[in-house]
Amino acid sequence: MNNDFIKLKNLQERVEQLSKFNQIEILKILHSSKVMINENKYGCHINLTEVSNDVIEEMETYLKYVSSQEIDLHHIEQQKEEFKHTFFDKKKNYISEQT
């Protein structure tokens, strides 16, 4: 298979897995670049083979940003749970031991 095809197929799959909000942001990137977007009751369809490399790179950059944000949020949630168990569970146990 052609490397470009594999790259575009990978891009398509990653966009399809995004939340609706992030998919709309991708559509904004495409719309601002004057990419033809075909829409029907099943969704929006774009022929990625006709999209310029600059737009593909902009989409890739956005996907990296989203991925980075998800990793950061996951890390913050882990810290939050750790703090919760460290401080609040100990306090709860301390109070029950006092009564």
**pLDDT at residue 46 is higher than 60:** yes
| pLDDT of the residue at 88 | 75
Average pLDDT, the chain: 88
| Range of lowest pLDDT (30-34, 52-56, 87-91) | 87-91
The CA–CA distances, whole Å, from 12 to 3, 8, 48, 55, 79 equal: 14, 6, 8, 13, 33
Which residues form the domain of 30? 3-98
Count of the separate structural domains present in the chain:
1
In this prediction, residues 68-87 reach a mean pLDDT of 89
Percent of the chain with pLDDT over 70: 89
Question: What confidence category does residue 99 fall into, taking pLDDT thresholds of 50, 70 and 90?
Answer: low
| pLDDT of the residue at 17 | 94
Place of tokens 């075909």: 38
In this prediction, residues 9-33 reach a mean pLDDT of 94
Taking the whole predicted model, whether its pTM rises above 0.95 is answered as no
**Angle (CA) 73 74 78, round 5°:** 115
Structure tokens at 6: 């594999």
Q: What is the phi/psi pair of residue 90, to 5°?
A: -65, -40
